[in-house]
C-alpha cells in the first residue's frame, strides 16, 4: 500500500503544471476563479489552445488523437488544470459523443465528426431530457419517422445546456411506439442547429444566466445515415455512457481549489472586529468541509487505483457523483454564509462589496443543478440500490 | 498509488476473519460477556500463539513487523464479531507506548510480556475533570532519590480492572493543562497505594476508575516529555478503534441489507420500497466512505509531520464517528421492534458504535483539533 505518485507520474505532473502556467490567460483565470460565466468565444479559444497542445481529447485513445494516458495521468491532468485556475470548458462532444461514436458509430461517422471535436470546431449539445421525460428518460416522446432517405423529427427537448452556443446536437428520439419504451429509442445526430424547423428558446436559471434552452423540432429533416448504431439501440448507447470510466466525476480538483480559496478569503476578510476564520462557527464549518473533501479525494483515489489495476468501475461512479456534488454545494453555501450581507447584491451590479463575494450567490444558485443534472441524486441512489445492493 | 494488500497483509486479514467467523459466533460472544473479566483468557492465549499480539511491533521488538495498516486489518476483523478481548488497551495503546518510549529493558520485560500474552496492560490517562484533553493532568508524580511515586485518580481506564501493569500520565512540572511537564510512568496494579474499582461499560466491556496514593512508579520515556508520546499513542488508538468500528458498521449494514430482502410487510420484501432502498444506499455510502478515511489515516498516522498526522487522524475520527452513529441508528430503525431487543446482535453493534463515537474524543473535540492545524 502506498499513497504516492511514481517518479514518472511526478514528472508528468510537472510537465502539465508548467504548460498551464505558461499558457492560461490571466484574465480567463481571474474570471473563472471568481465564478463568472465565460463567453462562447472565450471558451472556444481556450479549447482550441488546449487542442493545439494535445490536451483537449485527453480521454480518447491514440488512434483518434488522444494522448494515450492512463487513468492516473488523466486524474493528474485534471487536478493540475483545476489548481491552475483553468475552466473545465465545454465537453459534451469529448466525454459523451466521442466514446459513443467510437463504440457504435459507422466509419463514415467517425471520420466526419471526431476530428472536428478534437479541433474544437464543433460544439455539440445534448438532446436527452424533455418536459415530460426527466428522471424517467425512457418516456421521451420526440419522434423520428423515416421518410425516404431522411428521418423527420418532431417534438421538443429541454434543459439543453449551451444549446444556443452549439452548432450540432446529439439526440435520443423515439423511432418505435409499439414496443417497450426503452426498445423504441434511437440515437441520432443533428448536423446543423440552424436548420429549418429548429427553434431555440432561452431559459434563464436562478443564477440569473442563460445556460439552458428549450429546443423545438418542427418537421426537421435529418439524413438517415445520421442514425448511430441501429434503430432501437439508443437506450443501450445512453446506458453505455453511464458506466464509462469517469475518474473526475467527483470534481475533487475544483473543490480543492475552491476550499483553498475559501480559507484565504476567511483569513483576509474581517467581520465584527476579527478575521472570519476566527469566528468559531465559520472555522468549524470550514474544517468539516475540508474533512468531507478529504474523504471524497481518498474515495476517488481508490476508484483510480481500481481502474489502474484493470478493474472496471461500475455503479461506484454514482457514489462519487452523489458525494462530489454534495461537496460542491456545501462549499458554495459556505461562501454565501461567509459573505453575510455581501451575498445580497446581484452580480449584474458590478462589485458592490469585496470582489471575493461578488459571485458567491450566483454560484450557490447555479450549483443547485449539480444534484439534478447527469442523473439526479435520487436516480443515482436507485441505480446503486439495484446494481450494487440487489434491492428491487 | 496502490491500495492493494501485500501477501503477508492478506494472510493476517484472512486468518483473523476466519477465526471470527468460525470461532467467535454471537452465541460464543454472549457467553464470554458473562465471564468475570468480560473476556476469555484462553482466547487471549490463542491470539498470542497465533502471533496476533505482535502485529503492530517491529521485528527487533519481537513483533510481526507490522504497523497501523496491519493493526487495522486485525481490528476490522475483530469488529465483525465484536471481539471482547483487550487488544486495544493492551496491544495498541500500552504496546505502542512501550515501543515509542520504552527503554530496552522495559521493552524486553514489558513489551515482550504482552506480545507473549503473559502480561495485560492499560493506559490510564483520563481524569474526572480532564474531558478529552490529554494535557489536562491533575495526577502528580514526585521524585525521591531515584524513585518516583504518583498520586491522583484516573477514570474510565479501558481494561483497567484486568491489567497487571498500568501506564499512567502524571505531572512532574508545569500548570494543569500544560503539555510540557507531563511524564508517563509504569505502575504495578497490585502495588501499595493503587486502588482499582472495575465496572461494565455500555457495550459489555470493562473499565475501571483507579486511584493512586503515593504508588511506586517507574518512568517511561523522558521526564516532562510524556505528552507527545501519549498524543501519538492515542492517535494510533483512534485508527485502531476506527478499524474496529468499520468492521462493526459493515456487519450492521450487511445484516440489515439481508433482513431488508427477507422481511415482508404489505405482501412484499420491505427492501422493495424506495424509502428503504435510499436509506440502504446511504448506509452503504457511510461504510465505503469510512473505509476511505480509515485507509487514509492508517497510512498517515505514521507520518513524522505532526500536522499531517493530526489532520488525518482527527479528520477520520470526525468522519467515521458521524458515519458510525448514522449506521448504528439506521440499523436499529430499519430492523424495527426486533432491533430493540437484547437477543439480536444489531443492538449490540449499536452499543459498540455508540461507544466509538465518544472514545478518544468527541466529534466537536476532533473538529477543533483538525481546525487548529490550519
The CATH number that applies at residue B130 is 2.40.110.10
pLDDT of residue A317: 79
CA–centroid distance for A206 within its chain: 19
CB contact under 8 A, A295 and B318: no
Return d(Cα B295, Cα B303) in angstroms, integer: 14
Query: Which B residues 7-66 touch A at CB under 8 Å?
Result: 9
Q: In total, how many domains does chain B have?
A: 3
Q: What is the DSSP letter of A41?
A: H
Among A3, A266, A291, the strongest candidate for a mutation testing the B interface, having the largest count of B CBs within 10 A, is A291
pLDDT digits (tens, 9 = 90+) for B115-153: 999 999 999 999 999 999 999 999 999 999 989 999 999
Residues in A closer than 8 angstroms to B293, CB to CB, are 294-295, 298
Q: Which residues contact B181 (CB under 8 A, 6 or more apart)?
A: B171, B172, B173, B174, B175, B224
Q: What is the mean pLDDT of residues B156-182?
A: 97
Residues B241 and B366 placed together within one structural domain of the fold = yes
Q: How far is A247 from chain B (nearest CA, A)?
A: 15
> Is there a domain that residue B48 lies in?
yes
Residues in A closer than 8 angstroms to B369, CB to CB, are none
Phi-psi sector, B152: left (phi>0), alpha (psi -120 to 50), beta: left
The CATH number that applies at residue B364 is 1.20.140.10
Other C-beta atoms closer than 10 Å to the C-beta of B50 total: 14
Return d(Cα A161, Cα A202) in angstroms, integer: 10
pLDDT of residue A246: 67
> Is there a domain that residue B97 lies in?
yes
Q: Which residues contact A148 (CB under 8 A, 6 or more apart)?
A: none
Q: What is the mean pLDDT of residues B232-246?
A: 98
Q: pLDDT band for position A348 (50/70/90)?
A: confident
pLDDT at A243 over 70: no
Residues B194 and B308 placed together within one structural domain of the fold = no
Question: B302 touching A, CB under 8 A?
Answer: no
Contact A43, A50 (CB under 8 A): no
**Positive or negative CA dihedral for B277, B281, B284, B290?**
negative
Question: B5 touching A, CB under 8 A?
Answer: yes
Residues B128 and B106 placed together within one structural domain of the fold = no
% helix, strand, coil for chain B, step of 5: 55, 15, 30
- Looking at the DSSP assignment, which residues form a beta bridge with residue B198? B208
> Is there a domain that residue B59 lies in?
yes
Q: What is the mean pLDDT of residues B225-251?
A: 98
ipTM metric:
0.96
A41 catalytic? Reply is no
pLDDT of residue A349: 87
Nearest to B296 among A298, A309, A391 (CB): A298
The residue of chain B nearest to residue A287, with distances taken between CA atoms, is B371
Residues B159 and B36 placed together within one structural domain of the fold = no
Q: How far is B307 from chain A (nearest CA, A)?
A: 14
Nearest to A391 among B277, B318, B367 (CB): B277
pLDDT at A313 over 80: no
Q: What is the DSSP letter of A124?
A: E
Domains of chain A, CATH where assigned: 7-89 (no CATH), 124-233 (2.40.110.10), 245-387 (1.20.140.10)
pLDDT at B317 over 60: yes
pLDDT of residue A113: 98
Query: In the predicted model, what is the mean pLDDT of chain B?
Result: 97
pLDDT at A70 over 90: no
CB contact under 8 A, A294 and B276: no
Residues B95 and B137 placed together within one structural domain of the fold = no
Return d(Cα B122, Cα B133) in angstroms, integer: 18
pLDDT at A312 over 70: no
The CATH number that applies at residue B76 is 1.10.540.10
> Is there a domain that residue B301 lies in?
yes
pLDDT digits (tens, 9 = 90+) for A298-311: 999 988 888 778 77
Contact A56, A50 (CB under 8 A): yes
Residues B359 and B243 placed together within one structural domain of the fold = yes
Residues B99 and B143 placed together within one structural domain of the fold = no
Return d(Cα B248, Cα B82) in angstroms, integer: 7
Cα separation values, B278 from A137, A392, B275, B329, Å: 20, 12, 6, 15
Return d(Cα A195, Cα A218) in angstroms, integer: 10
Residues B114 and B242 placed together within one structural domain of the fold = no
Residues B110 and B25 placed together within one structural domain of the fold = yes
pLDDT of residue A33: 86
CB contact under 8 A, A390 and B261: yes
Q: pLDDT band for position A199 (50/70/90)?
A: very high
Q: Which of A36, A245, A330, A333 is catalytic?
A: A245
Length of chain A counted residue by residue: 392
Cβ-count burial B259-284 (b if 16+ within 10 Å, e if not): bbeebeeeeebbbeeeebbbbbbbbb
Among residues A88, A169, A57, the alpha carbon closest in space to that of A124 is found at A169
pLDDT of residue A310: 77
Query: In the predicted model, what is the mean pLDDT of chain A?
Result: 93
Q: What is the mean pLDDT of residues A322-334?
A: 97
Residues B101 and B146 placed together within one structural domain of the fold = no
Residues in A closer than 8 angstroms to B277, CB to CB, are 381-382, 385-386, 389, 391
Q: Which residues contact B145 (CB under 8 A, 6 or more apart)?
A: none
pLDDT digits (tens, 9 = 90+) for B252-272: 999 999 999 999 999 999 999
pLDDT of residue A272: 93
Percent of residues, chain B, with pLDDT higher than 90: 98
Segments forming the whole domain that contains residue B183: 122-222
> Is there a domain that residue B2 lies in?
no
Residues B257 and B304 placed together within one structural domain of the fold = yes
CA–centroid distance for A276 within its chain: 32
Q: pLDDT band for position A71 (50/70/90)?
A: confident
Q: Which of B88, B120, B152 is the last residue of a domain?
A: B120
pLDDT at A244 over 90: no
pLDDT digits (tens, 9 = 90+) for B193-210: 999 999 999 999 999 999
Q: Determine the 3-state secondary structure of A288 from DSSP.
A: helix
> Is there a domain that residue B164 lies in?
yes
Residues B200 and B141 placed together within one structural domain of the fold = yes
Amino acid at each position: 500500500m502506498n499513497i504516492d505518485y511514481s517518479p514518472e507520474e511526478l514528472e508528468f505532473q510537472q510537465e502539465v503544471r508548467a504548460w498551464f502556467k505558461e499558457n492560461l490567460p490571466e484574465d480567463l483565470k481571474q474570471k473563472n476563479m471568481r465564478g463568472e460565466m465565460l463567453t462562447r468565444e472565450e471558451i472556444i479559444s481556450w479549447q482550441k489552445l488546449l487542442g493545439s497542445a494535445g490536451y483537449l481529447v485527453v480521454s480518447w485513445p491514440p488512434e483518434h488523437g488522444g494522448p494515450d494516458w492512463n487513468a492516473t495521468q488523466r486524474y493528474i491532468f485534471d487536478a493540475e488544470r483545476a489548481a491552475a485556475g483553468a475552466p473545465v470548458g465545454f465537453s459534451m462532444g469529448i466525454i459523451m459523443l466521442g466514446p459513443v461514436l467510437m463504440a457504435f458509430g459507422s466509419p463514415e461517422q467517425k471520420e466526419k465528426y471526431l476530428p472536428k471535436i478534437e479541433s474544437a470546431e464543433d460544439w455539440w449539445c445534448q438532446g436527452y431530457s424533455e418536459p415530460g421525460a426527466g428522471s424517467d428518460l425512457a418516456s421521451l416522446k420526440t419522434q423520428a419517422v423515416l421518410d425516404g432517405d431522411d428521418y423527420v423529427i418532431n417534438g421538443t427537448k429541454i434543459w439543453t445546456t449551451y444549446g444556443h452556443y452549439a452548432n450540432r446536437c446529439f439526440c435520443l428520439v423515439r423511432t418505435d411506439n409499439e414496443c417497450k419504451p426503452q426498445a423504441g429509442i434511437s440515437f441520432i445526430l443533428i448536423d446543423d442547429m440552424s436548420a429549418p424547423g429548429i427553434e431555440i428558446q432561452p431559459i434563464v436559471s436562478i443564477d440569473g444566466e442563460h445556460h439552458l434552452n428549450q429546443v423545438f423540432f418542427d418537421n426537421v429533416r435529418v439524413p438517415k445515415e445520421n442514425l448511430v448504431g441501429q434503430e432501437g439501440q439508443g437506450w443501450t448507447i445512453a446506458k453505455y455512457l453511464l458506466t464509462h470510466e469517469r475518474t473526475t466525476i467527483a470534481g475533487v480538483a475544483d473543490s480543492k481549489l475552491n476550499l483553498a480559496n475559501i480559507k484565504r478569503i476567511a483569513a483576509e476578510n474581517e467581520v465584527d472586529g476579527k478575521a472570519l476564520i476566527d469566528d468559531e462557527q465559520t472555522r468549524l464549518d470550514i474544517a468539516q468541509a475540508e474533512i468531507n473533501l478529504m474523504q471524497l479525494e481518498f474515495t476517488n483515489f481508490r476508484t483510480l487505483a481500481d481502474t489502474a489495476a484493470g478493474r472496471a468501475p461500475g455503479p461506484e461512479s454514482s457514489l462519487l457523483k452523489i458525494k462530489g456534488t454534495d461537496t460542491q454545494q456545501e462549499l458554495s453555501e459556505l461562501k454565501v454564509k461567509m459573505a453575510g450581507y455581501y451575498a445580497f447584491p446581484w452580480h449584474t451590479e458590478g462589485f458592490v462589496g469585496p470582489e471575493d463575494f461578488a459571485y458567491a450567490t450566483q454560484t450557490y444558485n447555479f450549483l443547485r443543478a449539480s444534484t439534478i443534472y447527469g442523473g439526479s441524486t435520487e436516480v443515482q441512489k436507485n441505480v446503486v440500490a439495484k446494481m450494487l445492493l440487489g434491492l428491487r | 498509488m496502490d491500495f492493494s494488500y501485500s501477501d503477508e497483509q492478506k494472510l493476517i486479514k484472512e486468518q483473523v476473519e476466519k477465526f471470527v467467523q468460525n470461532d467467535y459466533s454471537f452465541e460464543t460472544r454472549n457467553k464470554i460477556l458473562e465471564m468475570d473479566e468480560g473476556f476469555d483468557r484462553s482466547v487471549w492465549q490463542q491470539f498470542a500463539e497465533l502471533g496476533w499480539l505482535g502485529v503492530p511491533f517491529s521485528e527487533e521488538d519481537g513483533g510481526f513487523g507490522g504497523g497501523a495498516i496491519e493493526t487495522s486489518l486485525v481490528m476490522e476483523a475483530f469488529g465483525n464479531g465484536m471481539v471482547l478481548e483487550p487488544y486495544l488497551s493492551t496491544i495498541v495503546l500500552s504496546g505502542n507506548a512501550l515501543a515509542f518510549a520504552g527503554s530496552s529493558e522495559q521493552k524486553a520485560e514489558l513489551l515482550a510480556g504482552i506480545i507473549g500474552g503473559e502480561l495485560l496492560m492499560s493506559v490510564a490517562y483520563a481524569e474526572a475533570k480532564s474531558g478529552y484533553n490529554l494535557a489536562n493532568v491533575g495526577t502528580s508524580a514526585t521524585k525521591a532519590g531515584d524513585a518516583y511515586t504518583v498520586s491522583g485518580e484516573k477514570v474510565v481506564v479501558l481494561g483497567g480492572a484486568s491489567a497487571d501493569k498500568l501506564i499512567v500520565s502524571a505531572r512532574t512540572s508545569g500548570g494543569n493543562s500544560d503539555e510540557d511537564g507531563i511524564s508517563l510512568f509504569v505502575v504495578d496494579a497490585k502495588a501499595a497505594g493503587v486502588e482499582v474499582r472495575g465496572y461494565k461499560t455500555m457495550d459489555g466491556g470493562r473499565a475501571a476508575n483507579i486511584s493512586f496514593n503515593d504508588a511506586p512508579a517507574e518512568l517511561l520515556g523522558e521526564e516532562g516529555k510524556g505528552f507527545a508520546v501519549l498524543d501519538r499513542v492515542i492517535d494510533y488508538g483512534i485508527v485502531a478503534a476506527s478499524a474496529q468500528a468499520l468492521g462493526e458498521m459493515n456487519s450492521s449494514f450487511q445484516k440489515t441489507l439481508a433482513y431488508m430482502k427477507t422481511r415482508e410487510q404489505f405482501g412484499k420484501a420491505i427492501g422493495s420500497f424506495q424509502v428503504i432502498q435510499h436509506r440502504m444506499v446511504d448506509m452503504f455510502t457511510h461504510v465505503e466512505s469510512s473505509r476511505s478515511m480509515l485507509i487514509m489515516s492508517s497510512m498517515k498516522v505514521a507520518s513524522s509531520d505532526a500536522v499531517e498526522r493530526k489532520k488525518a487522524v482527527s479528520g477520520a475520527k470526525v468522519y467515521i464517528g458521524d458515519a458510525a452513529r448514522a449506521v448504528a441508528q439506521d440499523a436499529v430503525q430499519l430492523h424495527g421492534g426486533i432491533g430493540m431487543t437484547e437477543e439480536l446482535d444489531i443492538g449490540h453493534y449499536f452499543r459498540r458504535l455508540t461507544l466509538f463515537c465518544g472514545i478518544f474524543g468527541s466529534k466537536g473535540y476532533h473538529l477543533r483539533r483538525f481546525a487548529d492545524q490550519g
